[in-house]
Amino acid sequence: MKDFYTLADLQHWDAAQAGNESPIQLGVIGDPVAHSRSPQMMNAALQHCGLKMQYARFQIALDESEAALRLMASAGFVGVNLTVPHKISAIPLMHELDDSARQSGAVNCVRFERERLVGGNTDGPGFARAIRSEFSAELRDLRVLLLGAGGGAGRAIARQCAREGCRRLVLANRTLEKAERLADELQPFFGEEQLEAVPWNEARLRSQIAHTDLIVNATSIGMRRSDAAVLPAKMLGSHLLVYDTVYAPGRTSLLDAVAEVGARGANGLSMLLHQGALAFEKWFERDAPLEVMRPALQF
Ligand code: ATR
């Protein structure tokens, strides 16, 4: 199997995958996609369950996605994951959307029913499962401060918090207008004092943290080892749960700061795991083997 395939490969699919041990019938479409760890996780699951197919990466530009999805459907694919930049633009390409995709306005998981494309979104539910497994906590019991409410991950997480009725949700974003727009959309899920959009400055964040149970970093800060912590240790307290959606490097500078103050922290690998497990469940209508998927994701 190649590191990644392209639209040109899909156009000559029999030739492109000649020699593969078992057929590629699942994958992830993205641009860039070479860094995706989904194949390790999914191929471990497929093998464990005796499903004779493979999962591969597809390097597909935004304007190629419609053709790629059509070719996959006619080649008999079971499903495909969508990542940056395809999650929102794929909505009109679907023949059917499940509730999570409709409500979030984004698709990260497609199931092929012959030529029909059924879009779903497992990012939000994957986040909820990650919080449950990392902290034994339910979103409905938590006051949540979300940093980076303007990006794709931040929006999916905010919607999940709204759907599950978290006790309070504070949206912080460098570009305040994006957080304010999201707060307007989510207001119907919340009472008067339960939802707020706040500017990204130390004083405002500090006063919120005193009334927060769970801080979520949904910004991209922390992906580079040289990044400073998104919040320094002096702003954190030992009462906090901190979930960093960044998972590479394994321990981000935010999680170093969390450890320094004796709070509980976790990185985004569990969200990656659970959104993948939920996609597997949609494709095969059976439980995903987390016990083999989890180790396959480690560095
Ligand atoms: P997407 O997930 O849609 O690809 P992104 O460009 O990766 O988006 O950004 C994700 C989030 O990280 C956004 O909320 C972004 O804030 P803006 O909406 O203001 O762009 C946030 N972000 C990225 N770099 C940041 C930084 N240096 N400081 C604060 N927030 C940052």
Question: Contacts from 176-184 at CB under 8 Å and sequence distance 24+?
Answer: 176/200, 178/149, 178/150, 179/149, 179/150, 182/149, 182/150, 182/155, 182/158
- The more confidently predicted of residues 248 and 56 is 56
The three-class DSSP label of residue 188 is helix
**pLDDT per position as a tens digit, 21-41:** 899 999 999 999 998 999 999
Rounded to the nearest angstrom, the gap between the alpha carbon of residue 297 and the centroid of all alpha carbons in its chain is: 14
Averaged pLDDT for residues 117-142: 97
Using 50, 70 and 90 to split pLDDT, how confident is the model at 299? low
Atom of ligand 1 nearest to the CA of 149: 14
Q: Which of 173, 175, 226 to mutate to test the pocket of ligand 1 (most atoms within 8 A of CB)?
A: 173
Tell whether the model's pLDDT for residue 208 goes beyond 80: yes
Protein residue with its CA nearest to atom 31 in ligand 1: 219
Ligand 1: residues with CB < 6 A are: 84, 148, 150-154, 173-175, 178, 219-221
Helical segments of 93-201, H only: 99-104, 123-135, 152-163, 176-186
Averaged pLDDT for residues 76-89: 95
Tell whether the model's pLDDT for residue 197 goes beyond 80: yes
